[in-house]
Structure 1
């Protein structure tokens, strides 16, 4: 019997403890249906309706027409019930995503339109914002998995502009869709393969060229959040043009193992970041001490979670406001020190 290769699978994970008190994470499959199953159902319904139309046209009397209509009515009821079950699968899928969420919680989406404007930079789009006075200092802002159009990241770009920098926020996904909260977390690793934070050289080079030729920038830095923080690590290994870098909760598992940075880099982490364990941060800091020949700093902000610098409204989290403000001030001070 032929087995289809592609399935819709929904599973949830749970943590169990054994008699010794050790915890074990188990994954339990809720449902598994071949994708082609839906296509078969649709095809059957289409054939049935066409046959019903033909038979009704040929029917000799009302009794035969009624018999054919009852057959189709029964089939439609079964088909409706099938789609109701599909709706339940969607609910189960949402539950599964909640049980194992995307590695970056969106947090608060700012109601913010931005002070800059969008521009084309060769093959990509970008958000560009400038200070009111002339400057030759510029910062490239690298977005997180939620993409370059997230208002929160544009807010940070405008913050840089208000502090005297030309800020540009390019679309490093090159038109590909960013991650959304509706996406299935089980597909995240596959999604990430086409959006590798280490595959950003071409976009970086065209943006550097744009800043130098169109904005007359002479001193350039780079900052990035989450996925973009990992990209900052990659770029600071390769481009001496960047006088300073700030990696803001850059996901360490996305990063390269080398720590031979070319210029000063500041690493911001959160103490309670579920996606970046503190042992990984400690290992990164040790590698930096062993390999890095330039200035660097690793700072962990107490009681903070992933995304606290740009995905939290200060007024909504008064207990976190001092740390949000401190991290932003530290970012600006680092850039001011080296650019």
Structure 2
């Protein structure tokens, strides 16, 4: 039986750093590719900006370049739209894409708050299109392997605690009020930018995976009790600490900081009754390898080949899902996106960070 890989034509909204990483990754030649990816069109604030983006990041390629997002939404040759704008624009970008019948891969954090997430998911459901939050880390083979070892093979017994930190000096004090990293109206602060990764690793360590991509999620997993605190500066959080408490006693500690850079090569520690796992890498968004250390001192290192940065794995997942007629992912389903956003909302409610777009109670 011959398996034909699906072919998808991407439309790219925005020409910033994250979009450059994404397009360079999906056009890489890979022996393990699950789909054929084509960058069909680029939507930018100007044609000149789009041309410069293609020249720098897609040499030899010739996608259609639009000087507006609206033209991209209406392009009949675009199958799926990738949204790489700042958090505050995700909702409207997604709604506009959905209104024109396009499938969507939207960068994390999916929106600014849970209310916006519900609005977008309801629109996608009504239109019958596919949409997924681009939490790319969950699609890494490293993460999928780790989840199997932890939750199916029980290599360190019953999981008890996780600790994850994402800290990087963002030079916040040097930013102007209009900066994406300084303006609350743009979703500024550590929580939505990097704290979401610390939270994600806590979930990866503490909870069984969502079907390992084998079956749809019918209901959101347990929502743990949240204890959170934030340090605010100019109305944005420059540090956030979240403690997750589960009914059976499992505990997760997730932290983020924009003032210092962590010096530890291991950003995540997962403790079980029979051992501990350490995850290493440039940061929680881009893990490189992990080790499993048993109580008897035996240690095993797990390394993974990763051409490029790893965005192609989430792109492959979207292509396969769409080809199968699904409207949501089994790895990052809508219920999980909403649950994570609700946890982030609760952390901000307790910590004090607010966005102008938040619902007024």
| TM-score in terms of structure 2 length | 0.31
More RCO (CA 8 Å, sep 6+): 2
Which one has the bigger strand percentage? 2
Bigger Rg over Cα: 1
| TM-score in terms of structure 1 length | 0.32
Which one has the bigger helix percentage? 1
